[in-house]
Amino acid sequence: MDLLFSHAIVRTPGPDAGGGLTTASLGRPDIPLLLAQHAAYIEILRALGLEVTVLPPLPGCPDAYFVEDAAVMTPEVAVITRPGAPSRRGEIESIESVLAKMRPVARIEAPGTLDGGDVLRVENRFYIGRSERTNDSGAGQLGRILEKNGYEWRVVPVGSGLHLKSSVNTLGGRDLVFAAGTPFLDAFEGCRSIVLDPGDDYAANALWINGTLLVPFGFPEARWKIEQLSRPVIDVAMTEMRKMDGGLTCLSLRF
Ligand code: CIR
């Protein structure tokens, strides 16, 4: 049974949002369009019944609107991460001040690094990607915090791609969507997999919100495959976030 979300935290992109980290060669984001797409994303979350807290831009932290990377939320605890990219570490103080009002806080400490984009919950188990951003220490620290709170956890070597959730996401329960050629499919035994076509990798970052599936606009084959689950699907324009390696999940913390 999936836990339903009642809240989301997002952060408005700042005027410096084009100065964040990226591996994409898609050009710089158009900031007015980025803001419009971000505002539309917020409206979708609200239309799905979530109470959305919108944090202001964080000066000097151009990637801070990818709030998912700065924390991992469970009903019991808010885990403040230690992002793998040093340029993103300035984000955590601000997110901690917000989350500390909502949950007991735990922290990933040095030498651990962990990005929330590497953390995927499937029912009672958390899959933690070991990636360019998340190391063994960070994954282990998070795992032990989760274990204390009654969860199972498993480390998955991500191989290529930015984060674990760049390649796999839940579509509800144990239904998962994978990018083509994902090397770690075996780690998810017992789950039902939809594997997208080569070229549709970006659409593997689909987002389940209380039974509705958000998918990035512009991937008709991926959308068709996901629609076969007979759950409502909403297309979301993500062209400008994609230029900064951002996807649907990273724009919010949901709980
Ligand atoms: C970064 O490279 O950190 C940002 N430009 C993009 C982070 C995307 N986060 C995510 O998918 N969870």
**How many angstroms does the Cα of residue 250 sit away from the middle of ligand 1?**
7
Q: Which of 25, 69, 131, 158 to mutate to test the pocket of ligand 1 (most atoms within 8 A of CB)?
A: 69
Q: What are the domain boundaries of the chain?
A: 7-254
CATH class, range 7-254 = alpha beta
Q: Model's pTM, two decimal places?
A: 0.97
Q: How high is the pLDDT of residue 39?
A: 98
Examine residue 183 and say whether the peptide bond preceding it is cis (omega within 30 degrees of 0).
Answer: no
- Mean of all residue pLDDT scores within the chain: 97
The residues near 125 (Cβ < 8 Å, ≥ 6 apart) are 151, 152, 153, 154
The residues with which 7 forms a beta bridge, in sequence order, are 51
What pLDDT band is residue 167 in, cutting at 50, 70 and 90?
A: very high
**What does DSSP assign to residue 83?**
-
Q: Can you give 124-159 as a three-state secondary structure string? A: CEEEEEECCCCCHHHHHHHHHHHHHCCCEEEEEECC
Q: How high is the pLDDT of residue 208?
A: 98
Residues near ligand 1 (Cβ within 6 A): 20-22, 63, 66, 68-69, 85, 88, 117, 163, 244-247, 249-250
47-89 residue pLDDT tens? 999 999 999 999 999 999 999 999 999 999 999 999 999 999 9
Stretch 119-144: mean pLDDT: 98
104-114 residue pLDDT tens? 999 999 999 99
Percent of the chain predicted with pLDDT > 70: 100
Q: From the centroid of its chain, how far is CA 11?
A: 14
Stretch 190-196: mean pLDDT: 97
